[in-house]
């Protein structure tokens, strides 16, 4: 089933159906139990009334058994013989015996016959005869049937014992009809069976409509995303509903993702365009020199061709590094001593146009990362400083609490405050660095900041004390190095 609306409607309907069935069964059970208890109470009252008469020594034939249609009665003695029944009771089940025909009572000798022969003064003396009693124990209940005037019905029977004044124990079974219980339970069950499908249909319909209304913005988002995919126009945005629910947050997140994706694609397009432009110049220059050399070997500018080749090689290396960084290449976990690395990079520039002053503090100056990438960062910072310095470049490696700092300063014109973030963008060169003969391609600082960020550090630019630019590379020291510092 592919429709969320259908799944939601079916799921809600099943849950409601289970809940209603469970609740309905519970209601029917409670109703039936209460009505049966009520019938049992009626049967107990009828049985105790008859047992009370027996306790008063009312003869069996003179017992008032009440209305036999409402309370059929059966009285048995200790031997299970029927001694009294309701007048029109034709058959019974659920009592001590199914017999409904009373047996003649056994003759009982009068306990005073012998005393009369001995004299008459004893008649008025002695103790009163024992009075009968009705059992005060909770009665036993059972369900059965009784046939009265040819009609059989279900009854709830109560069993109560009564004792006559002669000590004869009799058992009274009195019934109360269960027709009321059966009718009430049947009526409620019929109402539930009739109303349940209607209620489930209403639940399914309402759930379908509510889900459809709730998912309508999702369908709008889907259509717009499909249109964006088909048109490849990342400037479009999905509609955002006015609600503050999850769908509205989904729409806002989708638009934020589209904004980031648009910026990324635009940045990629500019990168490709700028890279093509930067590659075109040295390739065209190299081709021209080679074509001239092929036609006129004496005019071949070998140093110029070598310079263009070196520049082309460096540009290709920068582009490859940026491609690896954009692809998510993680830096290594090698321990790198920044002090030694700075000295090594400076030694490779000995005899350059601008002398470089190196200052390395004592103590642990190690970081964790890729030695090659960190060397590229320091080399790019030194190249940039030498390119813009007038007479001096200084490098200082120090420790600042849990970080290691590398500061590269020069005495050049510096970087204007409003351009200090822009210079870290790719292929960006300020006006005084536009010459391709003297300046780079505008990738060095972008690569340096990207590498610093991937090593958990930062790269910022400010104003040097001597008026030039001061680039500050801050990298976190490893945990053991922090403890030792």
Q: What's the CATH code of the domain at 465?
A: 3.30.565.10
Q: What is the pLDDT of residue 154?
A: 92
Q: What is the tens place of the pLDDT at every residue in 194-219?
A: 888 999 899 888 988 888 888 888 88
- Whether 409 maps to a domain, the answer reads yes
Least confident span in 308-322, 366-380, 440-454: 308-322
My answer on whether 474 and 362 are in the same domain is yes
- Token pair of 108, please? 């009982």
Query: What confidence tier does 458 reach under pLDDT thresholds 50, 70, 90?
Result: very high
Q: Are the beta carbons of 384 and 430 closer than 8 angstroms?
A: no
Same domain, 340 and 205: no
pLDDT surpasses 80 at 102: yes
Single out the residue in 326, 354, 389 at which a domain terminates. 326
Q: Of 280, 295, 326, which residue is a domain's last?
A: 326
Backbone angles phi, psi at 394, to 5 degrees: -130, 140
Q: How many structural domains is the chain composed of?
A: 3
User: CA–CA distance from 72 to each of 38, 90, 107, 138 (Å)?
Assistant: 16, 10, 27, 20
147: Cα separation from own chain's centroid: 63
Tell whether 369 and 462 lie within a shared domain. Answer: yes
456 and 368, same structural domain? Answer: yes
215 and 281 co-located in one domain: no
Which residue did the predictor score with more confidence, 67 or 124? 67
| Residue after which a domain boundary falls, among 232, 263, 289 | 232
Q: Which residue has the tokens 């600042």?
A: 400
What is the DSSP secondary-structure string of 150-177? TEEEEEEEEEEEEE-TTS-EEEEEEEEE
CB atoms within 10 A of CB 386: 18
Q: What pLDDT score was predicted for residue 406?
A: 94
Q: What is the token pair recorded at 470?
A: 């001061």
* Three-class secondary structure of residue 87 per DSSP: coil
Residue 111 has pLDDT above 50, yes or no: no
Q: Is the pTM of this model over 0.85?
A: no
d(CA 384, CA 362): 27
For residues 206 and 64, membership in a common domain is answered with yes
Domain-located, residue 154: yes
| 434 in Cβ contact with 469 (< 8 Å) | no
Residue 69 lies in a domain: yes
Position 125 in a domain: no
- Are residues 167 and 272 part of one domain? no
Residue 197 resides in a domain: yes
Domain boundaries, position 255: 246-314+316-326
Q: Do 223 and 250 lie in a common domain?
A: no
State pLDDT tens for residues 396-414: 999 988 899 999 999 988 8
464: in domain: yes
In a domain? residue 181 = yes
Q: Pairing relation of β-strands 133-134 and 140-148? A: unpaired
pLDDT at res. 436: 44
CATH number for the domain harbouring residue 259: 1.10.287
Give the angle 427-432-437 at the CA atoms, nearest 5°: 70
- pLDDT category, 282, cuts 50, 70, 90? confident
Q: What is the pLDDT of residue 279?
A: 77
**Per-residue pLDDT averaged across 292-320, rounded?**
80
- CA distance linking residue 421 with residue 469, whole number of Å: 13
Residue 183: is it exposed, middle or buried by C-beta count within 10 angstroms (0-12/13-18/19+)? Answer: exposed
* 476 and 389 both lie in a single domain: yes
- In this prediction, residue 470 has a pLDDT band, given cuts at 50, 70 and 90, of very high
pLDDT above 70 (res 126): no
Statement to judge: residues 420 and 468 lie in one domain: yes
Percent residues over pLDDT 90 in the chain: 25
The answer on 258 and 220 residing in a single domain is no
- pLDDT band of 1, cuts 50, 70, 90: low
Whether 121 maps to a domain, the answer reads: no
Rounded (10°) angle between helices 179-231 and 4-55? 170
Residues 392 and 463 in one domain: yes
């Amino acid at each position: 089933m592919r429709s969320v609306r259908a799944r939601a409607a079916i799921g809600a309907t099943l849950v409601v159906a289970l809940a209603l069935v469970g609740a309905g069964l519970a209601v029917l059970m409670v109703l039936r139990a209460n009505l049966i208890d009520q019938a049992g109470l009626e049967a107990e009252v009828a049985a105790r009334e008859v047992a009370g008469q027996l306790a008063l020594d009312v003869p069996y034939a003179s017992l008032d058994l009440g209305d036999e249609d409402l309370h059929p009665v059966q009285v048995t003695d200790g031997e299970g013989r029927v001694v009294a029944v309701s007048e029109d009771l034709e058959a019974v089940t659920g009592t001590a015996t199914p017999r409904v025909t009373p047996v003649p009572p056994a003759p009982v000798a009068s306990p005073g016959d012998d005393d009369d022969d001995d004299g008459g003064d004893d008649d008025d003396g002695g103790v009163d005869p024992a009075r009968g009693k009705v059992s005060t124990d909770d009665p036993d209940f059972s369900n059965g049937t009784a046939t009265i005037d040819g009609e059989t019905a279900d009854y709830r029977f109560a069993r109560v014992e009564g004792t006559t004044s002669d000590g004869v124990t009799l058992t009274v079974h009195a019934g109360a009809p269960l027709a009321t219980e059966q009718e009430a339970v049947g009526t409620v069950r019929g109402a539930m069976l009739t109303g349940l499908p209607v209620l489930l249909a209403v639940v399914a319909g309402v759930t379908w409509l509510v889900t459809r209304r709730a998912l309508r913005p999702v369908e709008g988002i889907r259509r717009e995303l499909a249109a964006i995919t088909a048109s490849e126009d990342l400037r479009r945005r999905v509609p955002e509903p006015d609600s503050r629910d999850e769908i509205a947050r989904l729409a806002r997140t989708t638009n934020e993702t589209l904004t980031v994706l648009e910026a990324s694609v635009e940045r990629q397009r500019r990168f490709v365009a700028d890279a093509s432009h930067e590659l075109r110049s040295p390739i065209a220059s190299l081709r021209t020199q080679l074509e001239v050399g092929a036609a006129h070997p004496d005019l071949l500018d070998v140093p110029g061709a070598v310079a263009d080749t070196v520049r082309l090689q460096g540009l290709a290396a920068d582009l490859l590094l940026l491609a690896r960084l954009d692809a998510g290449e993680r830096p290594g976990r090698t321990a790198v001593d920044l002090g030694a690395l700075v000295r090594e990079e400076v030694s490779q520039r000995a005899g350059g146009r601008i002398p470089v002053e190196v200052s390395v503090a004592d103590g642990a100056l190690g970081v964790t990362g890729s030695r090659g990438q960190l060397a590229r960062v320091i080399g790019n910072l030194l190249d940039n400083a030498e390119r813009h310095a007038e007479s001096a470049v200084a490098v200082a490696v120090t420790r600042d609490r849990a970080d290691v700092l590398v500061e590269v300063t020069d005495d050049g014109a510096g970087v204007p405050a409003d351009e200090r973030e822009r210079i870290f963008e790719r292929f960006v060169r300020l006006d005084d660095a536009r010459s391709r003969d003297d300046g780079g391609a505008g990738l060095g600082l972008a690569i340096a900041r990207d590498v610093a960020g991937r090593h958990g550090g930062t790269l910022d630019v400010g104003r040097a004390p001597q008026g030039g630019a001061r680039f500050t590379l801050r990298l976190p020291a490893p945990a053991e190095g922090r403890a030792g510092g």
